Amino acid sequence: MSPTSFQVSADNRRYPGHVAIIMDGNGRWANQRGKPRTAGHLAGAKTVREIVEHARRSSVRCLTLYAFSSDNWSRPKDEVDALMRLFRRHLAAETPKCVENDIRMSVVGRRDRISPELCHAIRAAEEATIDCESLHLRLAVDYSARDTMVRAAAAAPVGSPLSRDAFAELLAEVNHDDGSAGDVDLLIRTGGEQRLSDFLLWECAYAELVFSRRMWPEFGTADFDAAVEDFRARDRRFGGLSKARMG
Ligand code: FPP
């Protein structure tokens, strides 16, 4: 891999460790070009590859991509089937490249409504890349933050107080996750809309939000870098006061 534009520096707390992306705009990108929506998803998969490679070269240690929300099941069956096929092929094709580039891949979300073939591809990708450390790539598939919280709450021990950390562990468990990703530092949404759409609501409590007008298939590495620069200019106070105002 070539040298990065964002090396980890002494100042690395000002770089986002965990970036999450709502990859929106595939359908509109395709429509604008007179193509079927599935062509937009195919083009979107190419952008996934570019952005993952780029994040791998940066200070980002975890990248979480919203690939399929639990509400996306309501889309036409042809589109859902095409997306599921695309995820399966992507996992199979990208696993050797991830191993080569030291990228750990995992999938968060429900597993009981996706096909056995996709489940198998997920397990194979996760097992093959389990020891990779340079970047943790998490794909959210059949994911809903609100459903996750409801299921975590239902799994909580009755009668004993529940800490934030214990609840976060339960959230991870119900999502087939190991909990290592932690809070999101920077959330990017492409496609011009400005909402969270049930994505990582707990983990984004103090995330910096960046909304891009670019459709996901045309979102490039320069756009990613611009979002990181935007993040770096923010004053993150986590409810406290900035150093300048502490006196
Ligand atoms: C939202 O755009 C996008 C999705 C629901 C699917 C995301 C999938 C990809 C980016 C494809 C590749 C992903 C992987 C992990 C291989 P939209 O279809 O809602 O766009 P619209 O708002 O313009 O209709």
pLDDT in tens, 191-222: 999 999 999 999 999 999 999 999 999 999 99
**What pLDDT score does 238 carry?**
86
Q: Is the pLDDT of residue 125 over 50?
A: yes
pLDDT in tens, 147-195: 999 999 999 998 888 999 999 999 999 999 999 999 999 999 999 999 9
Q: What are phi and psi of 180, to 5 degrees?
A: -75, -20
How far is Cα 127 from Cα 106, in angstroms, rounded to an integer?
9
**What pLDDT score does 247 carry?**
55
Residue to probe by mutation, ligand 1, list 22, 24, 31, 219, most atoms within 8 Å of CB: 24
72 annotated active-site: yes
How far is Cα 26 from Cα 218, in angstroms, rounded to an integer?
9
* Shortest-distance Cα residue to atom 2 of ligand 1: 24
pLDDT in tens, 52-68: 999 999 989 999 999 99
pLDDT in tens, 27-52: 999 999 999 999 999 999 999 999 99
Query: Mean pLDDT throughout 118-122?
Result: 98
pLDDT in tens, 61-88: 999 999 999 999 999 999 999 999 999 9
Residue to probe by mutation, ligand 1, list 28, 35, 41, 87, most atoms within 8 Å of CB: 41
Q: How far is the CA of 239 from the centre of ligand 1 (A)?
A: 34
Q: Where do we find the tokens 């004053």? A: 235
Residue 124's CB is within 10 A of a number of other CB atoms, namely: 14
**What pLDDT score does 10 carry?**
41
**What pLDDT score does 5 carry?**
36
Q: State both tokens at 148.
A: 């996750």
How far is Cα 195 from Cα 178, in angstroms, rounded to an integer?
27
**What pLDDT score does 107 carry?**
98
Q: How far is the CA of 24 from the centre of ligand 1 (A)?
A: 6
Please identify, by atom number, the ligand 1 atom nearest to the C-alpha of residue 66. 7
* Shortest-distance Cα residue to atom 6 of ligand 1: 67
Query: Mean pLDDT throughout 21-31?
Result: 98
31 annotated active-site: no
Pocket of ligand 1 (CB under 6 A): 23-28, 41, 44-45, 48, 65, 67, 72, 83, 86-87, 90, 139, 191, 216
Query: Mean pLDDT throughout 91-105?
Result: 98
* Shortest-distance Cα residue to atom 22 of ligand 1: 25
Q: Which domains are delineated in the chain?
A: 16-232 (3.40.1180.10)
More confident of the two residues 240 and 232: 232
Catalytic residue selected from 72, 101, 183, 225? 72
Q: Report the candidate in 102, 138, 107 with the shortest Cα–Cα distance to residue 121.
A: 107
**What pLDDT score does 122 carry?**
98
How far is Cα 178 from Cα 105, in angstroms, rounded to an integer?
12
Q: How distant, in Å, are the alpha carbons of 14, 224, 238 from that of 245? A: 18, 31, 14
How far is Cα 173 from Cα 108, in angstroms, rounded to an integer?
10
**What pLDDT score does 245 carry?**
65
Query: Mean pLDDT throughout 5-29?
Result: 78
pLDDT band at 227 (very low <50, low <70, confident <90, very high): very high
**What pLDDT score does 6 carry?**
39
